[in-house]
Structure 1
Amino acid sequence: MLIKQDRLITLTASLPFILCFADRDFTKITPVLLKSTAGEFELESILFLKLRNLASLRLLLVLNLSSNRISNLEPISNCDSLQSLNVAGNLISSIDNLKCLQSLRQMESIRLKDNTYNYTNPVCKNSSYRNILLEIFPNLKAVDGERVVGQGSDLYQLCKDIDDTIKAGMLKNGQIQELPECKPWVEDGFWEIKRSNNAIIEEACKQFNDILSECRLLNHKAAHVITQTERTLSSSAQPKQYTV
Protein backbone atom coordinates (compact mmCIF):
# COMPACT_ATOMS: atom_id res chain seq x y z
CA MET A 1 0.00 0.00 0.00
CA LEU A 2 1.27 3.47 -0.89
CA ILE A 3 0.20 6.29 1.41
CA LYS A 4 0.87 9.93 0.64
CA GLN A 5 1.74 12.21 3.57
CA ASP A 6 1.64 9.26 5.91
CA ARG A 7 4.06 6.92 7.61
CA LEU A 8 4.67 4.06 5.21
CA ILE A 9 5.40 3.74 1.51
CA THR A 10 6.65 0.70 -0.41
CA LEU A 11 7.55 0.86 -4.08
CA THR A 12 7.94 -2.33 -6.08
CA ALA A 13 8.27 -2.90 -9.79
CA SER A 14 8.64 -5.73 -12.26
CA LEU A 15 7.01 -5.52 -15.72
CA PRO A 16 6.68 -2.68 -18.27
CA PHE A 17 4.21 0.02 -17.47
CA ILE A 18 4.55 3.63 -16.39
CA LEU A 19 2.30 5.39 -13.93
CA CYS A 20 2.74 9.06 -13.25
CA PHE A 21 1.04 10.85 -10.37
CA ALA A 22 2.34 14.41 -10.64
CA ASP A 23 -0.49 16.91 -10.40
CA ARG A 24 -3.29 14.81 -8.97
CA ASP A 25 -3.74 14.97 -5.23
CA PHE A 26 -4.37 11.47 -3.86
CA THR A 27 -4.57 11.10 -0.11
CA LYS A 28 -4.29 7.34 -0.41
CA ILE A 29 -2.84 5.26 -3.24
CA THR A 30 -4.15 1.72 -3.05
CA PRO A 31 -3.44 -1.42 -5.13
CA VAL A 32 -6.91 -1.03 -6.67
CA LEU A 33 -6.13 2.52 -7.77
CA LEU A 34 -2.78 1.50 -9.23
CA LYS A 35 -4.25 -1.40 -11.21
CA SER A 36 -7.19 0.60 -12.51
CA THR A 37 -4.97 3.49 -13.61
CA ALA A 38 -2.53 1.15 -15.36
CA GLY A 39 -5.21 -1.12 -16.77
CA GLU A 40 -3.39 -4.12 -15.32
CA PHE A 41 -4.72 -7.04 -13.29
CA GLU A 42 -1.65 -7.44 -11.07
CA LEU A 43 0.78 -5.01 -9.45
CA GLU A 44 3.65 -7.12 -10.80
CA SER A 45 2.72 -5.90 -14.29
CA ILE A 46 3.75 -2.33 -13.43
CA LEU A 47 7.41 -1.55 -14.07
CA PHE A 48 7.72 2.19 -13.43
CA LEU A 49 5.85 4.09 -10.76
CA LYS A 50 6.56 7.83 -10.83
CA LEU A 51 5.54 9.66 -7.69
CA ARG A 52 6.85 13.15 -8.13
CA ASN A 53 7.20 15.57 -5.20
CA LEU A 54 8.20 12.75 -2.85
CA ALA A 55 10.14 15.36 -0.93
CA SER A 56 6.88 16.59 0.59
CA LEU A 57 6.52 13.38 2.62
CA ARG A 58 7.76 14.91 5.85
CA LEU A 59 5.91 12.40 8.04
CA LEU A 60 7.32 9.38 6.23
CA LEU A 61 9.01 6.93 8.61
CA VAL A 62 9.71 3.83 6.50
CA LEU A 63 10.64 3.77 2.81
CA ASN A 64 11.32 0.60 0.80
CA LEU A 65 12.83 1.25 -2.64
CA SER A 66 14.57 -2.11 -3.04
CA SER A 67 15.03 -3.86 -6.38
CA ASN A 68 14.78 -0.84 -8.66
CA ARG A 69 17.24 1.18 -10.75
CA ILE A 70 17.73 4.14 -8.47
CA SER A 71 21.02 6.02 -8.50
CA ASN A 72 19.97 9.40 -7.07
CA LEU A 73 18.42 9.78 -3.61
CA GLU A 74 18.20 13.58 -3.51
CA PRO A 75 14.39 13.60 -4.05
CA ILE A 76 13.90 12.15 -0.55
CA SER A 77 16.47 14.34 1.19
CA ASN A 78 13.67 16.42 2.76
CA CYS A 79 11.83 13.47 4.33
CA ASP A 80 12.78 14.75 7.76
CA SER A 81 11.11 12.00 9.77
CA LEU A 82 12.56 9.08 7.82
CA GLN A 83 13.86 6.37 10.16
CA SER A 84 14.23 3.30 7.94
CA LEU A 85 15.42 3.21 4.32
CA ASN A 86 15.83 0.12 2.14
CA VAL A 87 17.57 0.76 -1.18
CA ALA A 88 19.11 -2.69 -1.66
CA GLY A 89 19.24 -3.85 -5.26
CA ASN A 90 19.74 -0.46 -6.93
CA LEU A 91 22.47 1.49 -8.76
CA ILE A 92 23.95 3.57 -5.96
CA SER A 93 27.57 3.72 -6.98
CA SER A 94 29.35 5.64 -4.23
CA ILE A 95 29.08 7.04 -0.73
CA ASP A 96 28.70 10.51 -2.24
CA ASN A 97 25.28 9.41 -3.50
CA LEU A 98 24.24 8.94 0.15
CA LYS A 99 25.66 12.15 1.61
CA CYS A 100 22.65 14.06 0.34
CA LEU A 101 20.68 12.31 3.11
CA GLN A 102 22.96 13.28 5.99
CA SER A 103 20.45 15.90 7.13
CA LEU A 104 18.01 13.09 8.02
CA ARG A 105 18.93 12.95 11.69
CA GLN A 106 16.18 10.44 12.55
CA MET A 107 17.66 7.68 10.37
CA GLU A 108 18.06 4.49 12.43
CA SER A 109 18.20 1.74 9.80
CA ILE A 110 19.56 1.69 6.28
CA ARG A 111 19.94 -1.24 3.94
CA LEU A 112 22.08 -1.25 0.80
CA LYS A 113 22.52 -5.02 0.64
CA ASP A 114 20.15 -7.92 1.23
CA ASN A 115 21.74 -11.38 1.04
CA THR A 116 18.36 -13.09 1.27
CA TYR A 117 17.34 -11.85 -2.17
CA ASN A 118 20.89 -11.28 -3.47
CA TYR A 119 20.26 -7.52 -3.68
CA THR A 120 23.19 -5.15 -3.57
CA ASN A 121 24.58 -1.84 -4.88
CA PRO A 122 27.90 -1.00 -6.55
CA VAL A 123 28.91 0.99 -3.46
CA CYS A 124 28.87 -2.23 -1.41
CA LYS A 125 32.14 -3.23 -3.11
CA ASN A 126 33.78 -0.56 -0.97
CA SER A 127 34.89 -2.45 2.15
CA SER A 128 34.58 0.67 4.33
CA TYR A 129 31.11 1.76 3.25
CA ARG A 130 29.53 0.52 6.51
CA ASN A 131 31.85 2.64 8.66
CA ILE A 132 31.25 5.66 6.45
CA LEU A 133 27.50 5.17 6.83
CA LEU A 134 27.91 5.28 10.60
CA GLU A 135 29.72 8.60 10.26
CA ILE A 136 27.04 10.06 7.99
CA PHE A 137 24.16 8.82 10.17
CA PRO A 138 25.33 8.93 13.83
CA ASN A 139 21.99 7.57 15.12
CA LEU A 140 22.07 4.39 13.03
CA LYS A 141 21.15 1.22 14.88
CA ALA A 142 21.24 -1.22 11.96
CA VAL A 143 23.09 -1.47 8.65
CA ASP A 144 22.06 -4.08 6.08
CA GLY A 145 19.85 -5.75 8.67
CA GLU A 146 22.65 -6.13 11.23
CA ARG A 147 22.45 -4.20 14.49
CA VAL A 148 25.39 -1.92 15.19
CA VAL A 149 24.16 -0.36 18.45
CA GLY A 150 21.45 -1.05 20.97
CA GLN A 151 20.02 -4.31 22.24
CA GLY A 152 21.54 -7.31 20.50
CA SER A 153 24.54 -5.49 19.03
CA ASP A 154 26.99 -6.74 21.70
CA LEU A 155 25.91 -10.34 21.10
CA TYR A 156 26.22 -9.90 17.35
CA GLN A 157 29.72 -8.44 17.69
CA LEU A 158 30.74 -11.26 20.05
CA CYS A 159 29.54 -13.92 17.57
CA LYS A 160 31.33 -12.13 14.76
CA ASP A 161 34.58 -12.03 16.75
CA ILE A 162 34.26 -15.75 17.54
CA ASP A 163 33.66 -16.57 13.86
CA ASP A 164 36.68 -14.49 12.83
CA THR A 165 38.85 -16.21 15.45
CA ILE A 166 37.73 -19.67 14.31
CA LYS A 167 38.39 -18.82 10.66
CA ALA A 168 41.82 -17.43 11.53
CA GLY A 169 42.63 -20.60 13.49
CA MET A 170 41.62 -22.80 10.58
CA LEU A 171 44.05 -21.07 8.23
CA LYS A 172 47.68 -22.09 8.13
CA ASN A 173 49.99 -20.89 5.38
CA GLY A 174 46.90 -19.68 3.55
CA GLN A 175 45.24 -23.10 3.58
CA ILE A 176 42.25 -24.33 5.56
CA GLN A 177 43.23 -26.95 8.11
CA GLU A 178 41.05 -29.89 9.07
CA LEU A 179 39.17 -29.44 12.32
CA PRO A 180 39.91 -31.89 15.15
CA GLU A 181 37.41 -34.64 15.77
CA CYS A 182 34.50 -33.33 17.79
CA LYS A 183 33.28 -35.18 20.85
CA PRO A 184 29.56 -35.64 21.59
CA TRP A 185 27.97 -32.96 23.71
CA VAL A 186 26.19 -35.50 25.91
CA GLU A 187 27.05 -38.90 27.26
CA ASP A 188 25.80 -42.16 25.79
CA GLY A 189 22.26 -42.96 26.76
CA PHE A 190 21.36 -39.31 27.41
CA TRP A 191 18.47 -39.42 24.93
CA GLU A 192 17.12 -42.79 26.02
CA ILE A 193 13.67 -42.89 27.57
CA LYS A 194 13.96 -43.01 31.34
CA ARG A 195 11.75 -45.41 33.28
CA SER A 196 9.19 -43.94 35.64
CA ASN A 197 6.89 -45.15 38.37
CA ASN A 198 3.99 -43.41 36.66
CA ALA A 199 1.68 -46.11 35.27
CA ILE A 200 0.53 -43.92 32.38
CA ILE A 201 4.09 -43.26 31.25
CA GLU A 202 4.95 -46.94 31.64
CA GLU A 203 1.99 -47.94 29.46
CA ALA A 204 2.92 -45.32 26.86
CA CYS A 205 6.50 -46.62 26.75
CA LYS A 206 5.22 -50.19 26.36
CA GLN A 207 2.93 -49.22 23.48
CA PHE A 208 5.72 -47.25 21.83
CA ASN A 209 8.11 -50.21 22.07
CA ASP A 210 5.43 -52.52 20.66
CA ILE A 211 4.99 -50.20 17.67
CA LEU A 212 8.75 -50.13 17.15
CA SER A 213 8.81 -53.94 17.17
CA GLU A 214 6.03 -54.06 14.57
CA CYS A 215 7.91 -51.55 12.41
CA ARG A 216 11.06 -53.66 12.57
CA LEU A 217 9.09 -56.76 11.61
CA LEU A 218 7.41 -54.99 8.69
CA ASN A 219 10.75 -53.63 7.55
CA HIS A 220 12.22 -57.15 7.62
CA LYS A 221 9.29 -58.54 5.61
CA ALA A 222 9.50 -55.69 3.10
CA ALA A 223 13.22 -56.28 2.62
CA HIS A 224 12.58 -59.99 2.06
CA VAL A 225 9.86 -59.28 -0.55
CA ILE A 226 12.11 -56.81 -2.36
CA THR A 227 14.95 -59.32 -2.48
CA GLN A 228 12.67 -62.06 -3.85
CA THR A 229 11.24 -59.69 -6.46
CA GLU A 230 14.69 -58.59 -7.60
CA ARG A 231 15.75 -62.23 -7.99
CA THR A 232 12.61 -63.02 -10.01
CA LEU A 233 13.09 -60.02 -12.29
CA SER A 234 16.76 -60.84 -12.72
CA SER A 235 16.09 -64.44 -13.75
CA SER A 236 13.29 -63.50 -16.14
CA ALA A 237 15.50 -60.91 -17.83
CA GLN A 238 18.13 -63.52 -18.75
CA PRO A 239 17.78 -65.02 -22.29
CA LYS A 240 16.51 -68.57 -22.38
CA GLN A 241 18.98 -71.23 -23.50
CA TYR A 242 18.08 -74.38 -25.38
CA THR A 243 20.15 -77.58 -25.70
CA VAL A 244 20.04 -79.44 -29.00
Structure 2
Amino acid sequence: MTDNMVKVGRIISDSEPIEDGINNSFRCIACCDNEEYPVVAKYIKGIEILKELICAILGRLINLPIPEPILLLDQNDVFCFGSLDVGYPNLYHRLNIQDPYYIEFHSIIKNWSALESASFFDEFIINPDRHSGNLLYNGKDIAMIDHGLSMQLDKFKPDYDEDWNNILFNHLLCKFTELSCEHKLDKIALCNRLTIWCEEIEEINNNNLIAKAINKIPIAHKSKNELLYFLTSRSEFIQKIINNRINPNQMDFVNV
Protein backbone atom coordinates (compact mmCIF):
# COMPACT_ATOMS: atom_id res chain seq x y z
CA MET A 1 0.00 0.00 0.00
CA THR A 2 1.32 3.43 -0.86
CA ASP A 3 1.16 6.35 1.53
CA ASN A 4 -1.13 8.31 -0.80
CA MET A 5 -3.93 5.70 -0.76
CA VAL A 6 -6.03 8.37 0.98
CA LYS A 7 -5.59 11.65 -0.84
CA VAL A 8 -6.46 14.79 1.12
CA GLY A 9 -7.02 17.98 -0.80
CA ARG A 10 -8.57 21.42 -0.74
CA ILE A 11 -11.19 22.88 -3.05
CA ILE A 12 -9.65 25.82 -4.92
CA SER A 13 -12.33 26.75 -7.47
CA ASP A 14 -15.99 27.67 -7.63
CA SER A 15 -18.35 24.71 -7.73
CA GLU A 16 -20.48 23.67 -10.68
CA PRO A 17 -23.65 21.87 -9.51
CA ILE A 18 -24.52 18.49 -10.99
CA GLU A 19 -28.25 18.01 -11.52
CA ASP A 20 -28.35 14.22 -11.02
CA GLY A 21 -28.49 12.70 -7.53
CA ILE A 22 -29.84 13.66 -4.13
CA ASN A 23 -26.62 14.81 -2.45
CA ASN A 24 -26.16 18.06 -4.40
CA SER A 25 -22.95 16.85 -6.00
CA PHE A 26 -20.77 19.43 -7.72
CA ARG A 27 -17.68 19.66 -9.91
CA CYS A 28 -14.67 21.69 -8.88
CA ILE A 29 -10.88 21.77 -8.89
CA ALA A 30 -8.98 20.43 -5.88
CA CYS A 31 -5.34 20.79 -4.93
CA CYS A 32 -3.63 17.69 -3.47
CA ASP A 33 0.11 17.66 -2.79
CA ASN A 34 0.61 20.71 -5.02
CA GLU A 35 -1.19 19.01 -7.91
CA GLU A 36 -4.56 20.14 -9.26
CA TYR A 37 -7.31 17.65 -10.09
CA PRO A 38 -10.84 17.90 -11.51
CA VAL A 39 -13.13 16.30 -8.95
CA VAL A 40 -16.75 15.51 -8.25
CA ALA A 41 -17.63 16.29 -4.64
CA LYS A 42 -20.55 16.18 -2.25
CA TYR A 43 -21.33 17.15 1.33
CA ILE A 44 -22.48 14.11 3.28
CA LYS A 45 -22.45 12.90 6.88
CA GLY A 46 -19.15 11.95 8.48
CA ILE A 47 -20.05 8.27 8.61
CA GLU A 48 -20.92 8.32 4.90
CA ILE A 49 -17.61 10.00 4.07
CA LEU A 50 -15.82 7.18 5.91
CA LYS A 51 -17.81 4.53 4.06
CA GLU A 52 -17.18 6.17 0.70
CA LEU A 53 -13.44 6.32 1.34
CA ILE A 54 -13.18 2.79 2.73
CA CYS A 55 -15.27 1.19 -0.04
CA ALA A 56 -13.41 3.07 -2.76
CA ILE A 57 -10.06 2.00 -1.34
CA LEU A 58 -11.13 -1.63 -0.95
CA GLY A 59 -12.75 -1.75 -4.38
CA ARG A 60 -9.69 -0.30 -6.07
CA LEU A 61 -7.46 -2.83 -4.28
CA ILE A 62 -9.41 -5.61 -6.04
CA ASN A 63 -9.24 -3.72 -9.35
CA LEU A 64 -12.85 -2.56 -9.52
CA PRO A 65 -13.45 0.53 -11.69
CA ILE A 66 -14.03 3.02 -8.86
CA PRO A 67 -12.74 6.58 -9.30
CA GLU A 68 -9.90 7.51 -6.97
CA PRO A 69 -11.33 8.98 -3.73
CA ILE A 70 -10.24 12.28 -2.21
CA LEU A 71 -11.07 13.68 1.21
CA LEU A 72 -11.70 17.36 0.58
CA LEU A 73 -11.69 20.50 2.69
CA ASP A 74 -13.57 23.59 1.57
CA GLN A 75 -12.69 27.22 2.30
CA ASN A 76 -14.29 26.87 5.75
CA ASP A 77 -12.30 23.72 6.59
CA VAL A 78 -15.43 21.58 6.32
CA PHE A 79 -14.87 18.04 5.07
CA CYS A 80 -16.65 16.64 2.03
CA PHE A 81 -16.13 13.56 -0.08
CA GLY A 82 -14.70 13.78 -3.55
CA SER A 83 -13.38 11.57 -6.31
CA LEU A 84 -11.48 12.18 -9.49
CA ASP A 85 -13.85 13.26 -12.26
CA VAL A 86 -13.86 10.53 -14.91
CA GLY A 87 -15.70 12.87 -17.24
CA TYR A 88 -18.70 10.82 -18.30
CA PRO A 89 -22.35 10.63 -17.23
CA ASN A 90 -24.23 7.95 -15.36
CA LEU A 91 -26.47 5.32 -16.91
CA TYR A 92 -29.60 7.15 -15.76
CA HIS A 93 -28.52 10.24 -17.68
CA ARG A 94 -27.62 8.17 -20.74
CA LEU A 95 -30.73 5.94 -20.71
CA ASN A 96 -33.16 8.34 -19.03
CA ILE A 97 -34.47 5.46 -16.92
CA GLN A 98 -34.07 4.68 -13.22
CA ASP A 99 -35.45 1.13 -13.28
CA PRO A 100 -32.45 -1.26 -12.94
CA TYR A 101 -34.45 -4.05 -14.62
CA TYR A 102 -35.09 -2.00 -17.76
CA ILE A 103 -34.04 -4.12 -20.73
CA GLU A 104 -31.45 -1.63 -22.03
CA PHE A 105 -29.89 -1.38 -18.55
CA HIS A 106 -29.67 -5.18 -18.44
CA SER A 107 -28.16 -5.41 -21.93
CA ILE A 108 -25.32 -3.12 -20.82
CA ILE A 109 -24.76 -4.71 -17.41
CA LYS A 110 -24.78 -8.34 -18.58
CA ASN A 111 -21.83 -7.63 -20.90
CA TRP A 112 -19.82 -5.76 -18.26
CA SER A 113 -16.48 -7.49 -17.68
CA ALA A 114 -16.46 -6.53 -13.98
CA LEU A 115 -20.02 -7.70 -13.27
CA GLU A 116 -19.01 -10.74 -11.21
CA SER A 117 -16.52 -8.92 -9.00
CA ALA A 118 -18.79 -5.88 -8.65
CA SER A 119 -21.76 -8.03 -7.59
CA PHE A 120 -19.60 -9.91 -5.06
CA PHE A 121 -18.37 -6.55 -3.77
CA ASP A 122 -21.89 -5.16 -3.29
CA GLU A 123 -22.79 -8.36 -1.39
CA PHE A 124 -19.68 -8.00 0.75
CA ILE A 125 -20.40 -4.39 1.79
CA ILE A 126 -24.20 -4.92 1.67
CA ASN A 127 -24.80 -2.03 -0.69
CA PRO A 128 -28.56 -1.48 -1.23
CA ASP A 129 -28.02 1.67 -3.28
CA ARG A 130 -27.08 0.36 -6.71
CA HIS A 131 -29.00 1.72 -9.67
CA SER A 132 -28.50 3.48 -12.98
CA GLY A 133 -27.63 6.73 -11.21
CA ASN A 134 -24.46 5.43 -9.59
CA LEU A 135 -22.93 3.58 -12.51
CA LEU A 136 -21.07 5.96 -14.80
CA TYR A 137 -21.03 4.99 -18.46
CA ASN A 138 -19.39 6.42 -21.56
CA GLY A 139 -20.76 3.91 -24.05
CA LYS A 140 -17.95 1.45 -23.39
CA ASP A 141 -16.64 1.63 -19.82
CA ILE A 142 -18.52 1.56 -16.49
CA ALA A 143 -17.35 3.14 -13.24
CA MET A 144 -18.92 2.54 -9.81
CA ILE A 145 -19.71 5.39 -7.41
CA ASP A 146 -21.81 6.14 -4.29
CA HIS A 147 -21.16 3.65 -1.49
CA GLY A 148 -22.13 5.85 1.44
CA LEU A 149 -25.26 3.81 2.28
CA SER A 150 -23.43 0.48 2.53
CA MET A 151 -22.45 -1.29 5.77
CA GLN A 152 -25.45 -0.07 7.76
CA LEU A 153 -24.16 -1.13 11.16
CA ASP A 154 -27.48 -0.59 12.90
CA LYS A 155 -29.26 -3.01 10.53
CA PHE A 156 -26.76 -5.68 9.51
CA LYS A 157 -24.35 -7.98 11.31
CA PRO A 158 -21.21 -9.23 9.52
CA ASP A 159 -22.78 -12.68 9.06
CA TYR A 160 -26.03 -11.29 7.59
CA ASP A 161 -27.09 -13.75 4.90
CA GLU A 162 -30.77 -13.07 4.25
CA ASP A 163 -31.77 -12.37 0.68
CA TRP A 164 -31.85 -8.70 -0.27
CA ASN A 165 -32.06 -6.82 -3.53
CA ASN A 166 -28.47 -6.96 -4.75
CA ILE A 167 -29.14 -5.47 -8.18
CA LEU A 168 -25.85 -6.49 -9.82
CA PHE A 169 -26.01 -10.02 -8.42
CA ASN A 170 -29.56 -10.44 -9.70
CA HIS A 171 -28.39 -9.48 -13.18
CA LEU A 172 -25.45 -11.87 -12.88
CA LEU A 173 -27.73 -14.80 -12.07
CA CYS A 174 -30.17 -14.13 -14.92
CA LYS A 175 -28.27 -16.52 -17.17
CA PHE A 176 -28.71 -19.36 -14.66
CA THR A 177 -32.50 -19.55 -14.84
CA GLU A 178 -32.44 -22.94 -16.54
CA LEU A 179 -31.37 -26.01 -14.56
CA SER A 180 -29.67 -27.77 -17.45
CA CYS A 181 -26.37 -29.55 -16.97
CA GLU A 182 -24.60 -26.70 -18.75
CA HIS A 183 -25.97 -24.14 -16.33
CA LYS A 184 -25.03 -26.28 -13.35
CA LEU A 185 -21.46 -26.43 -14.66
CA ASP A 186 -21.53 -22.65 -15.13
CA LYS A 187 -22.55 -22.28 -11.49
CA ILE A 188 -19.67 -24.49 -10.38
CA ALA A 189 -17.26 -22.36 -12.43
CA LEU A 190 -18.74 -19.20 -10.92
CA CYS A 191 -18.27 -20.57 -7.40
CA ASN A 192 -14.66 -21.42 -8.20
CA ARG A 193 -14.07 -17.84 -9.36
CA LEU A 194 -15.72 -16.66 -6.16
CA THR A 195 -13.13 -18.64 -4.20
CA ILE A 196 -10.34 -16.75 -5.97
CA TRP A 197 -12.12 -13.45 -5.30
CA CYS A 198 -12.44 -14.27 -1.59
CA GLU A 199 -8.75 -15.15 -1.45
CA GLU A 200 -7.99 -11.62 -2.66
CA ILE A 201 -10.12 -10.19 0.14
CA GLU A 202 -8.40 -12.45 2.66
CA GLU A 203 -4.97 -11.33 1.45
CA ILE A 204 -6.01 -7.71 1.90
CA ASN A 205 -7.11 -8.53 5.45
CA ASN A 206 -3.92 -10.43 6.22
CA ASN A 207 -1.84 -7.45 5.12
CA ASN A 208 -4.02 -5.06 7.17
CA LEU A 209 -4.40 -2.78 4.15
CA ILE A 210 -7.88 -1.54 5.06
CA ALA A 211 -6.84 -0.95 8.69
CA LYS A 212 -3.83 1.04 7.51
CA ALA A 213 -5.98 3.06 5.13
CA ILE A 214 -8.61 3.78 7.80
CA ASN A 215 -5.91 4.96 10.18
CA LYS A 216 -4.76 7.46 7.56
CA ILE A 217 -8.20 9.06 7.23
CA PRO A 218 -7.95 12.27 9.32
CA ILE A 219 -11.57 12.16 10.50
CA ALA A 220 -12.32 11.38 14.13
CA HIS A 221 -15.41 9.18 14.18
CA LYS A 222 -16.61 6.57 16.64
CA SER A 223 -17.53 4.16 13.83
CA LYS A 224 -14.03 3.76 12.38
CA ASN A 225 -13.29 0.61 14.34
CA GLU A 226 -16.82 -0.72 13.87
CA LEU A 227 -16.52 -0.44 10.09
CA LEU A 228 -13.16 -2.19 10.15
CA TYR A 229 -14.59 -4.94 12.35
CA PHE A 230 -17.56 -5.34 9.98
CA LEU A 231 -15.32 -5.85 6.93
CA THR A 232 -12.80 -8.16 8.55
CA SER A 233 -15.55 -10.24 10.15
CA ARG A 234 -17.71 -10.39 7.03
CA SER A 235 -14.76 -11.74 5.05
CA GLU A 236 -15.09 -14.94 7.10
CA PHE A 237 -18.68 -15.50 5.95
CA ILE A 238 -18.87 -14.00 2.48
CA GLN A 239 -17.91 -17.08 0.44
CA LYS A 240 -20.58 -19.23 2.07
CA ILE A 241 -23.15 -16.43 1.77
CA ILE A 242 -22.58 -15.96 -1.97
CA ASN A 243 -22.34 -19.71 -2.59
CA ASN A 244 -25.77 -20.04 -1.04
CA ARG A 245 -27.06 -17.24 -3.28
CA ILE A 246 -25.80 -19.08 -6.34
CA ASN A 247 -27.09 -22.46 -5.16
CA PRO A 248 -30.02 -21.80 -2.81
CA ASN A 249 -31.00 -25.48 -2.76
CA GLN A 250 -27.51 -26.69 -1.95
CA MET A 251 -26.59 -24.98 1.30
CA ASP A 252 -23.35 -26.94 1.63
CA PHE A 253 -22.23 -26.52 -1.96
CA VAL A 254 -18.59 -27.53 -2.38
CA ASN A 255 -16.39 -26.17 -5.14
CA VAL A 256 -14.85 -28.73 -7.44
Give the alignment's TM-score, normalised by structure 2.
Answer: 0.25
- Greater CA radius of gyration, 1 or 2? 1
